[in-house]
Copies of this chain bind each other. A is one copy, B any other.
């Protein structure tokens, strides 16, 4: 027995039938199977029926790798973010997925864990897969490594934080304005000594929020004591130390502005533990679930992560549909949600 018809790929273990196998079984040509599978016109109902039966009988499933190779489009996009499990990014990711789905596109994603090397590794892996586009929440600040990819036609959109050293579409929240509003709110309650605890200063959003804090203080002609500002890791221990120093320092603050949801939660825990001391007002950047159920409810400057994701994905698909104007920068507004913790009067 040399190369009998049954001895094709379809009979080997772990191997799948190909269009060729289906064609053989249905007694038609290869291309006819392709036509049926892709719903192309020009196939007799009778022939189509035979092909469909063969497909079912063999359990045939089109090999998209081959299709992609031939067509050049993968119908998939890549999403790189810091941490899929972060409650802020999860809805963003989900929103991107929904938009992708509406465009018949799959989503590949990866977490950079805030490590520049891992971000690049993921992005390049996606590019090697020839994703049609990329949505990136950057962890690094130099994205020139993307230039050949973009030149080769991979549409790219940055979200939440801007790209470094390249000019691409970007969708951000108004961190500066939001922080300014939040701090202004505290000032309006009568606070004069306000602390700011934020993430690492090299993270764009963190820097912008600090800037918003300073803007609000300046606009109210309030001085900012050096010990009132603390930037760095959002590790609870560090945040606790920082807040402790602000509360017990020579110029104790009467209110705190927390630069993101992780800091806010740590601040809540800490203030709760010190409940016997004078109450401290708190406004946080980022909304979070159950913020309204705490006592008092936590006043926050809310962003809309789903809207960020949706906007970014829609921008991406607009590019994929052939829009070629200059890169745009969109800045989404934030919203102050008053719940109680920010309305505590100064001691």
Contact = CB atoms under 8 A, between A and B. Distances in A.
Interface string A302-346: 000010000000000000000000000000000000000000000
B14 A149 contact: no
Contacts of A1: none
A293 B282 CA distance: 15
A265 interface: yes
Contacts of A102: none
A66 interface: yes
Contact of A94 (B13, B83, B106, B293): B83
Interface stretch (A121-129, A220-228, A235-243, A246-254): A121-129
Interface stretch (A25-33, A108-116, A157-165): A108-116
A148 to B, nearest CB: 3
Contact of A59 (B63, B84, B128, B148): B148
Contacts of A16: 152
A181 interface: no
Interface in A72-91: 74, 76, 83-87, 90-91
Nearest to A268: B293
A93 interface: yes
Interface string A259-303: 000000100110010000000000000001110011100000000
A153 interface: yes
A74 B76 CA distance: 15
Interface residues of A, number: 56
A145 to B, nearest CB: 10
A129 B106 contact: yes
A84 B74 contact: no
A7 interface: no
A41 interface: no
A111 B306 CA distance: 15
A64 interface: yes
Nearest to A261: B289
Contacts of A268: 293
Contacts of A290: 265, 288-290, 293-294
Contacts of A106: 108, 110, 125-126, 129
Contacts of A127: 61
Interface of A: 13-16, 59, 61-66, 68-69, 74, 76, 83-87, 90-91, 93-94, 97, 101, 106-111, 124-130, 147-149, 151-153, 265, 268-269, 272, 288-290, 293-295, 306
Given A16-B152, A65-B68, A268-B293, 14 more contacts: A14-B153, A15-B153, A59-B152, A61-B149, A63-B69, A65-B130, A76-B108, A85-B91, A90-B90, A106-B129, A107-B110, A108-B108, A289-B290, A290-B294
